[in-house]
Structure 1
Amino acid sequence: MTSLTLYHNPRCSKSRQALKLLEERGCDFHVRRYLDDPLSREELAALAARLDADVAELVRTGDSDWKALQLTAPSTDDYLDALAEHPRLLQRPLLDRGDRAVIGRPPATILALVDAS
């Protein structure tokens, strides 16, 4: 099985649900608490490239930190810069297999990546 990393915020119910799903499946995975160990801009760019989604979907645009940035028509660089500066803006949970990543909204979405490992 390919190595899995769960980008996790224990205060988030969806993130806790994803963690529980992985544990119930008996998956071998690493937990990265991204608020304690933030991703670098380079790691964020690589993660975004592995998503089956636009980089904008990595950002919690309803968050007050995002709104405070007052960006109009943000570019990919704007999104990555915002995530690097404000880690709490990172959408969660995220599961990364190294070659592909998914946003766990809803949490069961991560199972497609687990089953494909």
Structure 2
Amino acid sequence: MLKIYHNPRCSKSRDGICFLDELQVPYEVVKYLDEPLDEKELKEIIKKLNIKPIELVRIKEKIWIENYKNQNLTDAEIITALAENPKLIERPIVINQNKAIIARPTKKIKEIL
């Protein structure tokens, strides 16, 4: 079953849910702001996405700009920042077993079905 890491306040995240509903694909919703991910979970997601941790960061978020921008952070430090500040996580993330994508644009979801 697909899993979508979802922020209900994000239009792109809501679009991802609608897209999955249109395709009639079963999925599980993870509201990661309500139940923050720990560093181990983030590492697993980053591995499935096949990206560097910085690519999962919403670098235009105020939290990032005020606390982390222009710092030379290690991958581990970035993952810690994401775990401590889930609002920084790019969304929506859709996972299908060992594959994952950041669904921007929404149609990218088809790549892992």
- TM-score class, shorter: over 0.9
Could you say which residue in structure 1 is the equivalent of 2:33? 35
2:56 and 2:68 map into 1 onto residues whose CA distance is 17
1:50 and 1:19 map into 2 onto residues whose CA distance is 20
Q: Which runs of 4+ in 1 moved over 6 A?
A: none
SS at match of 1:35: coil
- Range moving further from structure 2, 28-37 or 61-70: 61-70
TM norm structure 1? 0.90
Residue 48 (1) aligns with residue 54 (2): no
Could you say which residue in structure 2 is the equivalent of 1:74? 73
SS at match of 2:79: helix
User: Aligned match of 1:25 in 23, 26, 29?
Assistant: 23
Deviation at 1:11, TM superposition (A): 0.6
Matches within 5 A, 1:1-117: 3-71=1-69, 72-114=71-113
Instruction: Count how many residue pairs are aligned between Structure 1 and Structure 2.
Output: 112
2:6 and 2:36 map into 1 onto residues whose CA distance is 11
1:15 and 1:82 map into 2 onto residues whose CA distance is 21
Name the amino acid aligned to 2:76.
D
Unaligned runs of 5+ in 1: none
Deviation at 1:73, TM superposition (A): 2.3
SS at match of 1:44: helix
1:109 and 1:86 map into 2 onto residues whose CA distance is 26
Name the amino acid aligned to 2:22.
E
TM norm structure 2? 0.93
- Range moving further from structure 2, 42-51 or 103-112: 103-112
SS at match of 1:30: strand
1:21 and 1:73 map into 2 onto residues whose CA distance is 37
